[in-house]
């Protein structure tokens, strides 16, 4: 283990931890009836929406040409199973299975 790498990892690890911990601990003082609290309640779901947008582009890039097919099949299956049965493990597994099917189709069409 190189000392320089270890020190760098510690600096990034401590910095990342501070970014996660300080706002979480500080937020305990927020007034639940205040505007800041209300704004944060709006921000939460939008952060998930933004994470979805970033994540699906990463998936599509990873699948290569035609990558939208497995992505749409996967997320479509997730949506259908979630609406039909609820929960969140089964919809996600269904999404993975449909995505694998989409990738198989993509590869077979591509020769």
Partner 1 sequence: MQAPWRRGLKDGIPIALGYLPVGVTFGVVATQQGMSAAEAALTSLIVYSGAAQFMLVGLLAAGTPTVLTVGLCLLLNARHALYGPAIAAYLPATPSRLAGLAFGLTDEVFAVALGRLPQQPAAQRPLWLAGVEVMAYGSWVGASAAGALAGDWIRGHLPLLAESLPIALSALFLVLLLPHVQAPRRGAILVTVTLAAAFAWAQHAALGLLLAAVLGALLAGIGEVRCARKSS
Is residue 26 involved in binding partner 1 (CB under 8 A)? yes
Instruction: Give CA angle at 48 (26, 11), nearest 5°.
Output: 50
Residue whose structure tokens are 């979630």? 82
Residue among 45, 65, 59 nearest 95 (CA): 59
Is residue 16 involved in binding partner 1 (CB under 8 A)? yes
Contacting partner 1 (CB under 8 A), which of 69, 80, 82, 105? 82
Is residue 69 involved in binding partner 1 (CB under 8 A)? no
Number of C-beta neighbours around residue 56 at 10 A: 16
**Using CB under 8 A as the criterion, what x/- string covers residues 32-51 for binding partner 1?**
x----xxxxxxxxxxxxxxx
Q: Min. distance of Cβ 3 from partner 1 in angstroms?
A: 11
């Amino acid at each position: 283990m190189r000392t320089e790498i270890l020190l760098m990892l510690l600096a990034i690890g401590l910095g990342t931890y501070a970014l996660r911990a300080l706002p979480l601990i500080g937020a305990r003082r927020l007034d639940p009836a205040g505007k800041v609290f209300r704004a944060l309640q709006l921000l939460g779901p939008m952060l998930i929406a933004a994470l979805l947008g970033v994540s699906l582009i990463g998936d599509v890039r990873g699948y290569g040409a035609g990558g939208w097919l497995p992505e749409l099949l996967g997320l479509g299956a997730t949506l259908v199973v979630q609406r039909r049965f609820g929960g969140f493990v089964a919809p996600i597994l269904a999404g993975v299975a449909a995505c694998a099917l989409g990738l198989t189709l993509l590869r077979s069409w591509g020769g």
